[in-house]
Amino acid sequence: MQFMYVALVVLCSFSTSRSENFRLVGPSVSLIAVVGEDFILPCSLQPKISAVDMRVEWFRLDQAALTVHLYTDHEDKSIEQAESYRGRTALFKEELQEGNTSLKLSVVQLSDEGAYKCLVKSENWYDDITLNIIVEVTGRDPVITLEELYVSGALSLVCESKGWNPEPEVEWLDSEGVTLNAKATQTHRDSEGFSVKRCITIYKSDSNRFYCRVKQRYHVKQTEVIISNKSFMMWRISIIFNFLFSSIVLIAGLITCAYCRRKEYFFARMGRFRIHEKRRVDKEIEKNILCRVDVVMDIGTAHPYLNLVDDGKEVKYGEKRKDFSDAPNAFDDCVFILGKEGFKKSFYFEVQVRGKTEWTLGVAKETIRRKGEIALKPEFGFWTLSMGNSMFCPSASVSPRHKLKKVGVFVDYNEGVVSFYDVIGKAELYSFTDQHFSEKLYPIFSPGFKHGGQNTAPLIITPISESRLKTHI
C-alpha cells in the first residue's frame, strides 16, 4: 500500500513537470508592417497554458539585444524598455491566461524593421522564437525631368522617386503599356528609405506618350510625360544653337591660350594645382584639430584576441586573454574594439597605421550589433575605412599609392559628415556625406589579423603635438 502511494506521488510530480513544458509558435516567414499603422507580432504557447505567472520578453536581435517589451512579476517593466518603444507596445493581458504572448506595436516606424525575439520563461522551463519584420513605406509620386539633349535629336529622361521601403522596382513603358529598355536603376538608402532613379533615351517616333512606374508588392505609383514632335524640333534647334555657341567660345579660348607659354604653362599649372590641393587639405586637417578628443580604447568591448597596451592607446592582434568572459558589450566574432567614450558632437582623432597591411578605422553608433557577423555599412551604424580588411564588407576601402603612416578621422556631427585623411601626405582619403546622426558615436578600431610575420604592428592612437595646437589657438 505504501509503495502504491509513493508511485502515485512520483507519477503526479512527473505529470506536473511535463505540464509546465511548452514551446512557442509563430510565423516562420517575414511579416510585412506598414508605416503609421498598428501591427501585431504573433507569439503563443503550445499547449495553451497560462503565461500570467511567467516572464515574457521581446527584444531586437539586430540592435544589441535592445529591450522592446518586458513583462514579469505580473506587470510591465518600462524602466528596462528602449526609449524608442516606450508607449508603443502592449501585451494582450486578458489573453495571457490562454497562452497568447503576442505583442502589439503601435504607430509603426521605418526604424522598427528588423529581427525580434520572443522569449517566455517559467520557473522550470523556457523557449523562444524569432520573427523578422519588414516595414513597408510607400514613396512619393515619380518625378520625370529632362536630363540631357543629344545632337541627334534624342532626349534623355530621368525618373526619380524617394521614400520607399523595401526597395521598389522602376520601369518605363510606352503608350501601349510595353516595357521599354532603360539604363540600370540607381538606388540610394537613407533614414527615409530608398530613393530610386532610372534613365531612358527616346527618339522622335510615332509614340509620344511615356510612363514611369514605381511599384512594390501591393503599391504602384505612376507618372506620365507627353513628348510632341514640335518639342523634339524645338529642343533640337536649341541643341544646335548651344553647340555652335560652345564651339565659338572654345575657339576663342584656344586663340587666347596661344599667347601663353605652352608646355611650361600647363605643367606649371598642374604643379600649382597639386600644391593648392595639399594646402587645402592641410588647412582642413589643422582646423579639425580644434575638435580633438582624448580617445582611449575600452577593453570591455574588445574581441578576445585583441590585446591593449599603453593604457588603452595601442591595440594589436595577439593571444587570447585568459580573463576574457562573455561580456555583453564585447565583440565575439569580428576583431573590433570601441573607444571608452562616445560623442554627440564634432570630434577628431589620429591613429598611426605605420607598418600594417590590414586595418579598419572609423566611428560607430552606440546601438550597433556586437555579437556574430556584422556588416560595416552606414545603414547598420558603421562609418569606417579599411585597408586589406575586405572580409568585413567595409563601408569604404583605400588603396593608396604610397604606404600610409597616420590617418586622421573627423566627424562633423551636425552636418552629417565623416572624413578620413592621410595626415602625413596631406590628402583626403574618403568622406561619407549627407548622413544623419541621432545618438552617440564611438571610435572603432581593428588591427586586422596576423598573417605569418606580417601585420604584427599595433594601431596606436597618437596625441596632437603642442606645436600644431599653437598654430590655431
* CATH annotation of 19-136: 2.60.40.10
230 SS3 class = helix
The neighbouring-strand residues paired with 431 are 419
CA dist 50 and 285 (Å) reads: 63
Nearest to 284 by CA among 396, 419, 155, 167: 419
Q: Taking 90 as the threshold, does the pLDDT of residue 56 lie above it?
A: yes
Q: Is the model more confident about 227 or about 16?
A: 227
pLDDT score recorded for residue 249:
64
Kindly report the CATH class assigned to 286-470. Answer: mainly beta
pLDDT score recorded for residue 324:
55
Cα 455 from chain centroid? 28
Least trusted range by pLDDT, from 115-124, 238-247, 255-264, 428-437:
255-264
Instruction: In the chain, list all ranges with CATH 2.60.40.10.
Output: 19-136, 143-232
Q: Over pLDDT 90: what percentage of the chain?
A: 47
pLDDT score recorded for residue 9:
41
| Mean pLDDT, rounded, of the chain | 83
For residues 454 and 447, is the Cβ–Cβ distance under 8 A? no
pTM assigned to the model: 0.44
CATH architecture of 143-232: Sandwich (2.60)
Nearest to 212 by CA among 223, 201, 221, 199: 223
Grid cell for residue 401? 599609392
Q: Taking 50 as the threshold, does the pLDDT of residue 319 lie above it?
A: yes
For residues 54 and 22, is the Cβ–Cβ distance under 8 A? no
pLDDT score recorded for residue 17:
42
- At which residue does the C-alpha cell 569580428 appear? 334
Q: How confident is the model at residue 309 (pLDDT cuts 50, 70, 90)?
A: confident
For residues 289 and 348, is the Cβ–Cβ distance under 8 A? yes
Cα 77 from chain centroid? 30
Q: Is the model more confident about 244 or about 263?
A: 244
Q: Taking 50 as the threshold, does the pLDDT of residue 51 lie above it?
A: yes
Instruction: In the chain, list all ranges with CATH 2.60.120.920.
Output: 286-470
pLDDT score recorded for residue 91:
97
Give tens-digit pLDDT for 322-380.
555 567 888 888 889 999 999 999 999 999 999 888 899 999 999 998 888 788 889 98
Give tens-digit pLDDT for 103-145.
999 999 999 999 999 999 999 999 999 999 999 998 999 999 8
CA dist 393 and 371 (Å) reads: 16
